[in-house]
Structure 1
């Protein structure tokens, strides 16, 4: 036995020596980057089988090819840097952005791009061969309403599983309760696909769970949801948005001692009242109770939750004044009371929210003036006060923000003679402010020069107010500005290149329906590259602004009613393939419209109506959904336009060719125009009979053929256009 012990010791020593020798040999290569770990062949084959069950319209997984044998280099695949085993799969699709820098048109374009980027299909069981997989993210893809695979419950190494917004349906498999190592579980956002549970008892098998998102999972039959989640010892964050919670049974003790984040937004609560157990969560840092249907006043019991840093009560029906005790939340960083019916004025006590970073009071009935004490909130980065009834001069509102000043400011020019020299010196640089949204109010007066001192501003929204005077040249100082919206005010005067001198980051400029005149030379090259430009009703003409041709990323352009009486240069037509929205209507633009058959963004809108275009109709990309060429001088046949690429489905929904000089018979080529909702061919010189194939337009709601020279019988096929 002694000899056996000695041999065992020698064997252990030898094993340790060989292990250390291996480490010493590999360490220099690892440090120098010479040693490259390749993926395991069986795991590479498993990934290829997984890919086979997926459609990939945008070819995201092009790197997942048999020609590249090392799967550790494939998109979304992360391998362990020593063993080569696949540890993580990052296959999330990127959803569209809905932040303050995105217009509705831009969001629509992003949505179309996102739809094309999604992986579609089902999850192949070959993932079971990835024995060491700890992280799996398949969110924002399209699994076509299929059930979450039960076999995922056998992947015991998983610590992170994200299947959110991936269009899963049916019952959530209880086998997920076998994933005892799980820290992060997100099944949320599968809205509309009837993802449900009968019981949440399986959650008891996840003692390490910290993050739980069941948003839009139907919990109406899971009467045990509170009892089960209340016993999860490690739970930190819980999202139950849109879960149809309904009746919540009373439980004697609330054990959510570690819970810091709770989201009950858009769910159904008994009697539309905040459950009393919520008020006992004194360690809660984030509470979202938006879109639940609360009425009356904010419950006073909420005032004891003084640890809150994030409070969202938006999209309810609160119709009282904002209670003063709410302003005592000294730790509050994010406060959203938007889209309610709050009334009255804002108390000067708002100055107590000294930790506030974002305040959103938009979409209420608040009136009066913004209190000067708002200027005490020197950490503010976002102020959203749009859609209220602020009746205030804009320079007074900016004065309210003047407490957090940068001393040593020398001089400022102001374009309002009523401002005193003392106020001019008081207005300093609001260094933290990133978003200022004051649209849709009763704000009036000229814009003061001091606005140029909002040195960190990225988004400024002053749309639909009563702001008058000229546009101060100090806008050219806002070097970080990305989004500027001055739409629908009473601004007038000349805008020059000085106004844009340092706006190198500007991507969106919305300033339609003002009385402004742009005066720049033909050789001017702007410092910015815009994505969206809306200048309707400005004076831009009579020449066509050549600087548009320098904008390589322009997708949304509205220069309607801008006094242009010119030919459009070929350089501009060359940009047509990048447009999602183009409106050059109500000008005096003449010449021919070139063919636009190249690929435009899906659901593109083109409005060239009320000009003086001549010649024949152009070929148009099938991706255009709205085309208005009415009130021009276009002539000739419509046949080549209708019958262009007969085998290609057209996505046109609105087609207006009214009031031109078009003639001849209308070809029988309507079968591929199935999406048409409105068709106007009136006030032309068409002859012959109405083609039978118009009856194939089953989505048609508006048909205008008046003031032509049609003859013959009205086709019976029109009865299909119900």
Structure 2
């Protein structure tokens, strides 16, 4: 925000206007505190003047996102008298938190010809009821009002029409509910138009794309748009970025979409579109990002070559073999289709591949050895297919997610998998794996010390134990699932030293041994399933320290002794412990207690009195324990659940923020 030294003093009228704007504003950074009458206004924070005339030309009060900005926001009243600055060409008040807006009255309105070119008020106000103050801004080229509720301003298209120089209009998340009609909108000068995340509940007018031929970027995503894509879309021959995702569009994509020779980013995902599309897009020379997932597209694309760095065809009905893919590809998601055959040899040269998702297809064959050449690969999801053979020993050292679930892999688990330091999600469940778990030192750094991993997040639908199950892969969640195989032998202590694990599933194997006491150090554990194995011995008392545990299944093993007493382990029902005949204690039956001197005889009457007194004593102790336990520990139990929910919420928010930032950075780098 620093300014260059000025040669002349700022204009007196400009200074008075800035002081009027200053009234009623507070900020934690102290920017506005520099706006004092004792200092030339050209030296005020965020104010820039012309070095010759001393007139204010630029005001930039957007917070610096490299700082801690939670309390560094301008607050109070946004007074639009600031638009009366005669030579102001640039105004950025975005990402602040003004509680209200003051629009100047008629007598204070702009009487000169405005020179304002750039105006950004996004993320700065909750609501603006009208936009009539935009009328005099005839020189405006860039206008951003995103994240401001404008639903009361129903005449915004007519107001936009009065801005003949406008090149870029961004009104995302504005709660707009009336899609502009063709007769009320003039887009002849517009190059960038963003009306995403609104609620239009209407069709795109047939002539909408006839309004401008210079449009290079159009975003209408998440706006509840119905109907078909008008064929007039093909008139936008300069279009480079098109996003119509997450609407309710139906029908076929216009046949000539492959003639949009300059298109670089195309997103039609999350609609109800159908028919053929890829055969017309395969040869687009500039296409870099293609996302058409979650539609009803269907065609055999095995002979196509797709030239994109990001390719998302998931949740459709594509058939045949996998397509050929350009060597520049980084992200590939072909999940939830009907692809068949093996991974093609043409994929050998995918040196830049970072994410590969082939979940839920009909693919088969062995994983080719050349996959070891995918050195940049971070996510490998081959789950729910018919792949067979052994798990490759040589894989990318950058892997963070490995999902081979629901295939026919056999043999042992390669020890190399447990030396991937960035790995946070490993799922080998429902295969034919055998042998024991590797006993080498586990180098899964991300499962020992918490590191917020890259950015990959996805949701997978499963059908387990007679019910639908949502399977979430997230960078803030650590998971190991080796269930439903034929693994045997004792579980190495190395596994229980991975203290950041939140989900551990070893069920339905032939594993044996005892649960070590150090399981109590896995304090982040939320789901633990050791059922249907051959584990034995007592359940260690330290398991009661797993206060985040939401799901527990130790059933059908050979555990014995008494279930440790503690709020956590008693909160699960008996099904978590069934099938262990020698296990007792709540929530199972009480453990039997043998008398110390069974050979000492007493008269029968005394035995009856003793038995009666003993039963009364035990009954009283049981009732007393129940009342005392729930009276004292009940509140702690509730507090634990609240604490659990709170920390999960914090983790989720932090993860989402990180994911959003990194995705934007990657997108910027690709462009």
Q: 1:296 to 1:539 in 2, by over 3 A?
A: same
Instruction: Measure the CA separation in 2 of the matches of 1:81 and 1:663.
Output: 79
Q: 1:559 to 1:308 in 2, by over 3 A?
A: same
Instruction: Measure the CA separation in 1 of the matches of 2:236 and 2:551.
Output: 55
Deviation at 1:209, TM superposition (A): 6.3
TM-score (norm 1): 0.61
Q: Do structure 1's residue 480 and structure 2's residue 353 form an aligned pair?
A: no
Which of 559, 566, 570 is the aligned partner of 2:482?
Answer: 559
Which of 404, 409, 416 is the aligned partner of 1:511?
Answer: 404
Q: 1:358 to 1:251 in 2, by over 3 A?
A: closer
The 8 Å contact of residues 219 and 243 in structure 1, kept in 2 or not, is answered as yes
Which of 489, 501, 507 is the aligned partner of 1:585?
Answer: 507
Instruction: Measure the CA separation in 1 of the matches of 2:218 and 2:441.
Output: 46
The 8 Å contact of residues 433 and 485 in structure 2, kept in 1 or not, is answered as yes
Instruction: Measure the CA separation in 2 of the matches of 1:596 and 1:467.
Output: 38
Q: 1:228 to 1:547 in 2, by over 3 A?
A: farther
**Unaligned residue ranges in structure 1 (runs of 5+):** 1-77, 84-121, 402-429, 645-651, 667-680, 702-722
Aligned equivalent of 2:436? 543
Residues 222-621 of structure 1: matches in 2 within 5 Å?
222-232=153-163, 235-247=166-178, 256-269=187-200, 271-274=202-205, 276=207, 279-346=210-277, 348-370=279-301, 372=303, 374-375=304-305, 378=307, 380-394=308-322, 397-398=323-324, 401=325, 430-498=326-394, 500=395, 503-517=396-410, 519=412, 526=419, 529-546=422-439, 549-554=442-447, 555-576=478-499, 578-587=500-509, 588-596=511-519, 604-611=526-533, 612=535, 614-615=537-538, 616-619=540-543
Deviation at 1:292, TM superposition (A): 3.1
The 8 Å contact of residues 279 and 301 in structure 1, kept in 2 or not, is answered as yes
SS in structure 2 at match of 1:495: coil
Q: Which moved more, 1:304-313 or 1:607-616?
A: 607-616
Deviation at 1:627, TM superposition (A): 3.1
Instruction: Measure the CA separation in 1 of the matches of 2:577 and 2:199.
Output: 50
Instruction: Measure the CA separation in 1 of the matches of 2:139 and 2:522.
Output: 50
The 8 Å contact of residues 368 and 389 in structure 1, kept in 2 or not, is answered as yes
Aligned equivalent of 1:629? 553
Q: Do structure 1's residue 150 and structure 2's residue 77 form an aligned pair?
A: yes
Deviation at 1:151, TM superposition (A): 5.9
Instruction: Measure the CA separation in 1 of the matches of 2:522 and 2:377.
Output: 31
Deviation at 1:607, TM superposition (A): 3.4
Which of 144, 163, 184 is the aligned partner of 2:95?
Answer: 163
SS in structure 2 at match of 1:474: helix
Instruction: Measure the CA separation in 2 of the matches of 1:333 and 1:475.
Output: 28
The 8 Å contact of residues 545 and 568 in structure 2, kept in 1 or not, is answered as no
Deviation at 1:662, TM superposition (A): 5.4
Residues 4-153 of structure 1: matches in 2 within 5 Å?
124=28, 126-130=30-34, 131-133=44-46, 134-137=60-63, 149-150=76-77
The 8 Å contact of residues 239 and 264 in structure 1, kept in 2 or not, is answered as yes
Aligned residues: 515
Instruction: Measure the CA separation in 2 of the matches of 1:253 and 1:354.
Output: 36
The 8 Å contact of residues 327 and 353 in structure 1, kept in 2 or not, is answered as yes
Instruction: Measure the CA separation in 2 of the matches of 1:357 and 1:446.
Output: 25
Q: Do structure 1's residue 187 and structure 2's residue 119 form an aligned pair?
A: no
SS in structure 1 at match of 2:272: coil
Deviation at 1:538, TM superposition (A): 3.6
Q: 1:654 to 1:172 in 2, by over 3 A?
A: farther
TM-score (norm 2): 0.65
Aligned equivalent of 2:473? none
Instruction: Measure the CA separation in 1 of the matches of 2:136 and 2:565.
Output: 68
The 8 Å contact of residues 617 and 634 in structure 1, kept in 2 or not, is answered as no
Aligned equivalent of 2:607? none
The 8 Å contact of residues 399 and 422 in structure 2, kept in 1 or not, is answered as yes
Structure that is richer in strand per residue: 2
Q: 1:199 to 1:473 in 2, by over 3 A?
A: same
SS in structure 1 at match of 2:329: coil
Deviations 1:426-460 (A, max 9, x none): xxxx3212222211111112223332222222121
SS in structure 1 at match of 2:315: coil
Q: 1:514 to 1:292 in 2, by over 3 A?
A: same
The 8 Å contact of residues 204 and 228 in structure 1, kept in 2 or not, is answered as yes
Deviations 1:588-621 (A, max 9, x none): 24312435555855x8444344442532343456
SS in structure 1 at match of 2:435: coil
Deviations 1:467-489 (A, max 9, x none): 11222111111112121110101
Q: Over aligned residues, Cα RMSD in angstroms?
A: 4.5
Instruction: Measure the CA separation in 1 of the matches of 2:506 and 2:218.
Output: 47
**Unaligned residue ranges in structure 2 (runs of 5+):** 7-25, 35-43, 47-59, 448-477, 593-618, 642-671
Deviations 1:216-270 (A, max 9, x none): 5322211242344444566543332343323467697756555322222332226
Deviations 1:43-98 (A, max 9, x none): xxxxxxxxxxxxxxxxxxxxxxxxxxxxxxxxxxx767999xxxxxxxxxxxxxxx
Instruction: Measure the CA separation in 2 of the matches of 1:234 and 1:548.
Output: 66
